[in-house]
Structure 1
Amino acid sequence: MSRDLRIRRKTIGYCAICAVGMVTDPEVFRLATAENVEAHLSQLQPGTWQALQFQRVLWTPGFAVARTIVVGVERFLTDVGNSLGNHWYRAPLELLDQLIVAQQMTLKARLWTHQELVARLRNHANEEADRFANGVF
């Protein structure tokens, strides 16, 4: 994502739901919210010798929505015995997807994939440039 789009993303207030997993075992993941996704993976990597990668990155309209979804998913995974401690879980990624969608539907909130968010931000920037070109601020 370009620097301009990162700044626009932060200004508007989008927040990500991130599932970071181990390359060797994709069903083990850490669930968290992140406003700065670019720094999130590098912050987690020193805590393990295993190579990490993003398993899921979904964007929400703000931190409160992202945190509410993550807390609901974590509560369910802990209740069914899938918690490994310290926000790490073992579960099929399909289950994670279903839990996130269930929480989203409960909140009636929007979620965007990373590609959808980039397209949204580019569209927003283009609309803003068109308004500026037409003399409408």
Structure 2
Amino acid sequence: MDEQATPVSPATPFEWIGGETRVRALVDRFYDLMDIEPGYHELRLAHGTTLDDARQKLFWYLCGWLGGPSYYEDRFGHPRLKMRHMPFKIGILERDQWLACMDQAMGEIAVPEDLRARLRDAFFKTADWMRNTPR
């Protein structure tokens, strides 16, 4: 009997993306792009003088959100994303810059296209829900 190995699908997006190393690469590229690309200027301004704290928190958050370790919740409890972002103006411009920056980062670190499409959709839903100003 000739048995062919059936490819095993990753159980979570965290596994699919490649675990902590790849989540770190994504987050680092996202913030590096935010810091250097003029098209993300307004988004960068909302982050203050240093990106270190935001970089670490997004890494912790995405690990758990993607189905990996719950680093963020272990440290801070429930993310309460909308509440934690209320001090910052988040309108269509900021939403769209965040999404474009994240999509560019996903492309540059070679997130598989089918996963990238799923994440793009999920990120849009969350980013649009985070808006706290109409424009």
TM-score interval for Structure 1 and Structure 2 normalised by the shorter chain: under 0.3
More strand by share: 1
Query: What's the TM-score, normalizing by structure 2?
Result: 0.27
Query: What's the TM-score, normalizing by structure 1?
Result: 0.27
